[in-house]
Chain A
Amino acid sequence: MREALEKIRSEALAAIAAAQESAALESLRVRYSGKKGELTGILKMMGKLSAEERPKMGQLANDVRTALEAAFTARAAELADRALAAQLKSEAVDVTVPAAPISVGHQHPLTIVINEVCTIFEAMGFETVEGPEVEYDYYNFEALNTPPNHPARDTQDTFYFSDNMLLRTQTSSVQVRTMEHRKPPIRVIAPGRVYRSDAVDATHSPLFHQIEGLLVDEGVTMADLKGALDVFAKGMFGARTATRFRPHHFPFTEPSAEMDVSCFACGGEGCRLCKGEGWIEILGCGMVHPNVLRGCSIDPEKYSGFAFGLGVERVALLRYKIDDMRLVYENDERFLRQF
């Protein structure tokens, strides 16, 4: 009997080790350890043994069973690992094959700039509003301290529909519209299209975009104007951007200024972008002219405010190094997809 058990052990272990598939292994389990298997068959003969032999043989039979079960489990795990490895190997992909595209559209560069500017001012408490593009002369000029035949009108060649209706030449018209129906505190920013009769070339377009800003309240100072625009410049062009304010003239602000920012290409050292100046002119601004306030029934003795206007195309062209404004309105997809 001992021989029989040892024989089963050695035969079964060899067969388990040789099994190559889990199905074959399973049939070995049935053959050796199953209810009708060889080991069970031998154990059935235990009754014929002497009382002395029986525990010894019982012990041996148990050892064999344990050994076979361990071998089955181990081999099963091995075969499962091997099968998984084979499956994973067969499922391998070529990671360099290009993916089927998921096409996400692009926003126009002008929109990107407008959004950035508005977002910065919104964070400073400005509300973004808009006004009509076809405008009365009154809102575009007269209420902005630029009466008919004022020489300042020469600098803005205007498209007219009739004597008193035109395409606005500046978003400043929104200042007046805002102050007419709101009373201080006022804090608005107004992006939009403006029009001037300039023939199309690399730096001119009869249509372009401006962003107007206006803050009117009690005790607003020119220092506040500088502060707000300095925050804007740092938000727009980077935290290390410096600003420079130069006196200038606009009919609807007094004092007036132009703001330069330190060149965002060279940081102020002087380069091609800034024409060696180190500064780039970005916007016009000033303290709202008392005549404009009065025209909107806001008392300049009590209130003061500042306003500014920024050319969007100029910022977009400089920032993205676009050398021809026509590209912006040609809308070639190869251009649009770069933004």
Chain B
Amino acid sequence: MKLSMNWLKSMTDVPAAPKEYIAAMTMSGSKVETLEYLGSEIENVVAGRLLSVESHADAAKLLICQVDVGGERPLQIVTGAHNVSAGDFVPVAVDGAKLPGGVEIRTGALRGVMSEGMLCSHQELGLTEHDIPNAPEHGILLLNDAEYGELTLGEDIRKVLGFDDWVVDFEITPNRPDCLSMIGLARESAATYDRSYTPPTPSVKAGAGKIGDYLTVKVDEPTLCPRYTARLVRNVKIAPSPKWMRDRLRAMGVRPINNIVDITNYVMLEYGQPMHAFDYTCLSDSRIIVRRAQTDEVFTTLDDQQRRLTSEMLVIADGVKPVAVAGVMGGANSEITQQTRDVVFESANFNGVSVRLTARALGMRTESSGRFEKGLDPRQTYAAVERACELVELLGAGDVCDGVIDVDFSDPDPRVLPLEWERINRFIGIDVPRETMVRYLTLLGFGIDGDRVTVPSWRGDVEQFSDLAEEVARFYGYDKIPTTLYAGETTFRRSPKLAFDDLLRRLSAAIGYNEIQTYSFINEKAYDKLRIPSDSPLRQVLIIKNPLSEDMRVMRTTPLASMAEVLARNANVKNPCARLYELTSLYFPVITDGKPDYTKLPEERQALTFGAYGEIDFYGIKAAVEGLAQALRMPALRYEASSDPSFHPGRCARVTVDGEELGIIGQLHPMAAQSFDLSVPAYIAALDVRVLMDKRGGITQYKPLPRFPATTRDLAVVCGEELPVGTLEDVIRTAVGEILESIRLFDIYRSPLLGAHKKSVAFSLTLRDPARTLTDTDADAAMSRAVAALEKIGATLRS
């Protein structure tokens, strides 16, 4: 909402310095977005009078003017415009002047004749034909008209043309539609400075016949239209509105059109009440009926768009047809034109939700609908229509009929709240005397009667105690409220889940991986890229109804796509290697009748995903997983070759712990990688955070350090390639028994001497008995057991 400081000053006396004003308004609760001086682009342009106009000797198109700008001597100015003659008042850009668009004017010679400035057209001053209706399309702006008043020569043109004004743009929050008006902002301004303000008090002479003889109004839908107020103006003379009104509209960002339309806009800005003007002669049967539209009724709005209406929408109709979509936009069929003779002013109150839904359904949010949807004060319709008619008379725009049609179903009783002033002090933490609170509230229009506060009709947002407390707090000053620390009973902690997330992040960093953050929604095509089968439950996804794009449409059930994309992005900017991890939420819908259920919240399950490329192989990413498991003091992880379609069939393992599925690890399938535009081998491990959390070691129960020495033995066996090292380890572990403290693979060796498809695998075993020193005999016996067991699975001791 824009506010003209000049207009504001006509209603209340606030300090002149705009910067101080906006600071004060900000602190009392009216947030300022911008502050602009309308004349900021114009400098050194003054009012002047042409003393003489002569032709240029060498250029027929140029005129040489002597211009009195109030200085010691006239200025000589050469102009190319021909609409000037001696005695005209004109805007003169003198030497050093600045004009909109960064134009600078300097004294200089034009065809050998000195020109000490420039005579300006309205365009050169940043004005349009709407601002200056009678300005010539080509030529100098003449200021001879009486509406420019008595000009002083040399007077700053910004004062003459209404540019000498500051405009504040307020961000008005949706709870305060009353502040979408000059009156509302004047009230807030006055209260901020502890002063009074004087809103207009319209009075209409009327006398052009009785409205009842010309018009009837019927409201069929009182809940959607609590109040409908109308007046009739006859013998309208459509003309431009006067300069003072045009200047104010322009300052507020509204384009002047003609007197009748300008009056409706002016009253809307002044009172916050949207108005509409109908051409009376277009109203069939001289009736206005406020009713629901018929289904599929077609209607052309003022913007010449055809609209298909529904019975959910409220229209203003005459005896035959709709003439406006209530609170949204008027119709082309009753528009004010140059030929309009009689005008009906509508000042109505419509239900906010209804207007909002209608505007949304029609895809047209207008100035009017934006105001109605916030809930306007039904009390203001009468004053607004009165003000419009007063302006008609003031502007000589027509003859106002006697009487007001006012169909009022609204609740006339104001809201009354108790003034719990001590409770307000306790709630805010201040100590403000009762009289001070009463003063703040009175300035804002609240009525105080003993301990009863009458809420003004325009403050629909004030419903209870805390709303009154806010009024007191903001005028007392938020900055004056002390700062205290609440004591009270409390717990000091992070939820176990979030604490665990934090631990996972720290451990992932410790093992050399960098954290990424990716979007929770992905493109559904990612499932194809990942080669996930069409019948996979992972494809049961929640789909956003109104996505920004296909790439952000489905809630991910796999972390692989986002990781693959980020790996590809890094590879494609030529980062030689990457070590990345992400703690992601996955969204698994509840499945009802085989389909995602859109009435129940999905299960949000976390995954910890590692991704890497460059100087890494399968065992590199496995090391990361093992390092993490070790730091979490988990039981041993088990790896089993897996044929997950997203991964390289020979380089992928399912990871389990205590028989529970922990996740998957492997090289991204080359075809999947290719579809993500990833041209290097990439390794990914995706782990279920819930399982990590369940299986991590609890509070350590200390074990005594060993008192007896360990014995180490090496063991090398030859076996077929197909026999996994993990199986060999398992067999050794079982055969050796409890005295096996640890087993470490130290070599895998292949050679033609071993035979085709054979490998030699060498382990180093550490044996220890916690209760005594192991003898060589004990160790030898253990090794014999291992060798015997290995032979049974086809692994023979390497000779």
Contacts and interface: CB of A to CB of B under 8 A. Distances in A.
Interface of A: 103-108, 110-111, 115, 118, 122-130, 132-136, 149-152, 154-155, 159-162, 164-165, 167, 185, 187, 191, 193, 195, 197, 199-200, 206-207, 215, 217, 219-224, 226-228, 230-231, 244-249, 251, 254-258, 287, 289-290, 300, 304, 328-334, 336-337
Interface string B277-320: 00000000000000000000000000000000000000000000
Contacts of A124: 485
Contact of B484 (A105, A200, A223): A223
B429 A223 contact: yes
Interface in B438-460: none
Contacts of B544: 159-161, 167
Interface stretch (B82-90, B169-177, B634-642): B169-177
A246 B26 contact: yes
A151 B373 contact: yes
16 contacts: A105-B579, A106-B509, A111-B505, A127-B495, A133-B604, A134-B604, A149-B352, A154-B174, A159-B545, A162-B598, A187-B491, A199-B548, A331-B516, A331-B569, A334-B573, A336-B514
Given A133-B520, A207-B520, A333-B570, A221 B604 contact: no
Contacts of B773: none
A128 B26 CA distance: 33
B548 A255 contact: no
A162 B599 contact: yes
Nearest to B356: A149
Given A134-B542, A249-B176, A219 B426 contact: yes
B498 interface: yes
Contacts of A152: 174-175
Nearest to A199: B548
Contacts of A108: 514-517
A159 B548 CA distance: 9
Interface residues of B, number: 88
B581 interface: yes
A165 B511 CA distance: 39
Contacts of A150: 174
Given A123-B492, A221-B484, A223-B483, A333 B542 contact: no
A293 to B, nearest CB: 10
B785 interface: no
Given A199-B548, A206-B552, A333-B570, A132 B598 contact: no
B417 to A, nearest CB: 12
Contact of B485 (A227, A245, A257): A227
A39 B513 CA distance: 74
Nearest to A328: B517
Given A162-B599, A222-B428, A333-B580, A244 B515 contact: no
B197 to A, nearest CB: 20
Given A103-B579, A206-B519, A249-B175, A227 B486 contact: yes
A150 B176 CA distance: 13
A220 B494 contact: no
Contact of B518 (A118, A217, A331, A337): A331
Given A105-B512, A130-B497, A151-B356, A287 B601 contact: no
B74 to A, nearest CB: 43
Nearest to B493: A127
B490 A125 contact: yes
Contact of A224 (B357, B373, B429, B575): B429
A167 B474 CA distance: 34
A221 B467 contact: no
Nearest to B544: A159
Interface stretch (B27-35, B658-666, B673-681): B27-35
A105 B509 contact: yes
Contacts of A256: 470
Given A133-B585, A133-B604, A105 B508 contact: yes
A132 B601 contact: yes
A154 B490 CA distance: 37
Contacts of A251: 175
Contacts of A149: 352-353, 356-357, 373
A165 B485 contact: no
A246 B24 CA distance: 10
Contact of A336 (B31, B515, B548, B598): B515
A331 B486 contact: no
B466 A254 contact: yes
Nearest to A305: B486
Contacts of B426: 219, 221
Contacts of B373: 149, 151
Contact of B28 (A199, A231, A247): A247
Contacts of B485: 124, 224, 227-228, 231
Given A221-B426, A224-B486, A165 B601 contact: yes
Interface string B413-426: 00000000000001
A108 B27 CA distance: 36
A30 B495 CA distance: 78
Contacts of A207: 519-521
Contacts of A289: 466
Question: Which of A103, A105, A125, A128 lies at the interface centre, i.e. has the most chain B CB atoms within 10 A of its CB?
Answer: A105
Contacts of A128: 493-495, 498
Interface string B363-391: 00000000001100000000000000000
A154 B513 CA distance: 41
Nearest to A195: B520
Nearest to B360: A149
Contacts of B498: 118, 128-130, 191
Nearest to A334: B575
A219 B138 CA distance: 71
Contacts of B516: 108, 331, 336
A224 B484 contact: yes
Contacts of A118: 494, 498
A206 B512 contact: no
Contacts of A329: 517-519
Nearest to A221: B429
A315 to B, nearest CB: 15
B20 interface: no
A155 B172 CA distance: 12
Given A159-B547, A227-B483, A331-B569, 19 more contacts: A106-B514, A107-B505, A108-B515, A122-B493, A128-B493, A151-B374, A152-B174, A161-B545, A162-B598, A193-B585, A207-B520, A224-B484, A227-B486, A228-B486, A244-B479, A247-B474, A254-B467, A328-B517, A330-B569
Interface string B558-584: 000000001001100101001111000
A206 B514 contact: no
Contacts of A332: 569-570, 573, 575
B214 interface: no
B479 A223 contact: no
A160 B546 contact: yes
A187 B490 contact: yes
Contact of A111 (B175, B515, B555): B515
B478 interface: yes
B240 to A, nearest CB: 35
B100 interface: no
B595 to A, nearest CB: 13
Contacts of B478: 226, 245-247, 257
Nearest to A193: B520
A-B pairs, top 4 by smallest CB distance, nearest first, are A223-B429, A221-B429, A247-B29, A125-B490
Nearest to B470: A255
Contacts of A230: 483
B708 interface: no
Contacts of B489: 185, 217
Given A122-B493, A125-B492, A222 B546 contact: no
A103 B517 contact: no
Contacts of B552: 206
B430 interface: yes
Nearest to B542: A161
Contacts of A199: 548
